[in-house]
Structure 1
Amino acid sequence: MSPEMLTLRRGRVTAVVSRVEGLARIEVDGVACIAYPRLTGPVALGDEVIVNVQARELELGSGGFDVLYVNVTRGLELEADDGAHVMKLPYTPGQGAAVHGEEGRELPETLEGLPVVCCTLHSQIAPVHAGIGPGLRVAYVQLPGGALPVSLSDSLRTLRERDLLEVTVAVGACVDGDVQCVSAASALLWCKAEGLDIVVCGIGPGIVGTGSSFGHGGLAAAGAANAASALGGEPLLAVRASQADARERHRGASHHARDVLRLCGDRVVAAWPRGSATPGWLRPVEEVDVEGWESACADLPLSHMGRGPEEDGLFFAAAFAAGRLARSRVG
Structure 2
Amino acid sequence: MISIKRGKVIKILSKSQEKTKLIVAINGKEEKAFNYNLMTGEVSVGDEVVLNTTAIELNLGTGGYHFVLYNLDNKIVPLEEEGHIMKLRYTPLQLKVFAAEEQDHPNHHKFLAFESLNNLPVIVGSLHSMLTPIAATLKYINPRIKITYIMTDAAALPIYFSDTVDQLKEKGIIDHTITIGHAFGGDLETVNIYNGLIAAKEITHCDIAIVTMGPGIVGTGTPYGFTGIEQGQILDAVEDLGGAAIAVPRISFSDERERHYGISHHSLTVFSKIAKTSFKIILPFLEADKKKVLYEQLEYLNIHRKHTIIEEDGSILSKVLDYFGLSVKTMGRGFKDDVAFFLACSAAAVHSCDLLKNHNRK
Alpha carbons 1:117, 1:322 under 8 Å: kept? yes
Does 2:93 align with 1:94?
yes
Q: What's the offset of the Cα at 1:139?
A: 0.6
Q: What's the offset of the Cα at 1:163?
A: 1.7
Indicate the residue corresponding to 1:243 in structure 2: 253
Indicate the residue corresponding to 1:168 in structure 2: 177
Alpha carbons 1:7, 1:54 under 8 Å: kept? yes
Does 2:56 align with 1:56?
yes
4+ residue stretches of structure 1 with deviation over 2 A? 61-64, 78-82, 265-268
Alpha carbons 2:315, 2:346 under 8 Å: kept? no
Alpha carbons 1:146, 1:217 under 8 Å: kept? yes
Match for 1:306 among 297, 318, 332? 332
Aligned partners of 1:79, 1:279: CA distance in 2, in Å? 56
Alpha carbons 1:169, 1:177 under 8 Å: kept? yes
Aligned partners of 2:245, 2:69: CA distance in 1, in Å? 37
Aligned partners of 1:74, 1:181: CA distance in 2, in Å? 31
Aligned partners of 1:89, 1:266: CA distance in 2, in Å? 31
1:278-327 CA-to-partner distances (Å, cap 9, x unmatched) read 43315322111223221112322301111111111111101111122222
What is the CA RMSD across the aligned residues, in angstroms?
Answer: 1.5
Alpha carbons 2:126, 2:250 under 8 Å: kept? yes
Aligned partners of 2:236, 2:122: CA distance in 1, in Å? 11
Does 2:222 align with 1:212?
yes
Aligned partners of 2:62, 2:194: CA distance in 1, in Å? 29
DSSP-derived class of the 1:329 partner: helix
Aligned partners of 1:52, 1:316: CA distance in 2, in Å? 34
Does 2:15 align with 1:19?
yes
Question: TM-score, structure 2 length as denominator?
Answer: 0.86
Q: What's the offset of the Cα at 1:146?
A: 0.9
Match for 1:202 among 206, 212, 219? 212
Does 2:128 align with 1:122?
yes
Q: Which piece of structure 1 moves more, 280-289 or 88-97?
A: 280-289
Does 2:157 align with 1:148?
yes
Query: Equivalent pairs: percent with the same residue?
Result: 31
Does 2:279 align with 1:268?
yes
Aligned partners of 2:278, 2:321: CA distance in 1, in Å? 29
Q: What's the offset of the Cα at 1:21?
A: 4.3
Higher helix proportion (structure 1 or 2): 2
Structure 1 or 2, whichever has the larger Rg, is 2
Alpha carbons 2:236, 2:276 under 8 Å: kept? no
DSSP-derived class of the 2:348 partner: helix
Q: What's the offset of the Cα at 1:99?
A: 0.3
Alpha carbons 2:126, 2:213 under 8 Å: kept? yes
List aligned pairs for 1:250-289, cutoff 5 A. 250-261=260-271, 262-276=273-287, 277=291, 278-280=294-296, 281=298, 282-283=303-304, 284=307, 285-289=309-313
Aligned partners of 1:66, 1:116: CA distance in 2, in Å? 34
Indicate the residue corresponding to 1:138 in structure 2: 147
Q: 1:288 to 1:266 in 2, by over 3 A?
A: farther
Q: What's the offset of the Cα at 1:275?
A: 3.3
Q: Which piece of structure 1 moves more, 135-144 or 283-292?
A: 283-292
Aligned partners of 1:294, 1:273: CA distance in 2, in Å? 14
Q: Which piece of structure 1 moves more, 84-93 or 257-266?
A: 257-266
Aligned partners of 1:170, 1:24: CA distance in 2, in Å? 20
Alpha carbons 1:123, 1:303 under 8 Å: kept? yes
DSSP-derived class of the 1:279 partner: helix
Alpha carbons 1:146, 1:205 under 8 Å: kept? yes
Alpha carbons 1:226, 1:264 under 8 Å: kept? yes
Q: 1:14 to 1:67 in 2, by over 3 A?
A: same
Does 2:68 align with 1:47?
no
Q: Which has the higher contact order (CA 8 A, sep 6+)?
A: 1
Partner AA of 1:289 in structure 2: D
DSSP-derived class of the 1:310 partner: helix
Aligned partners of 2:236, 2:80: CA distance in 1, in Å? 32
Aligned partners of 2:263, 2:116: CA distance in 1, in Å? 32
Alpha carbons 1:202, 1:220 under 8 Å: kept? no
Indicate the residue corresponding to 2:66 in structure 1: 66
* Number of aligned residues: 326
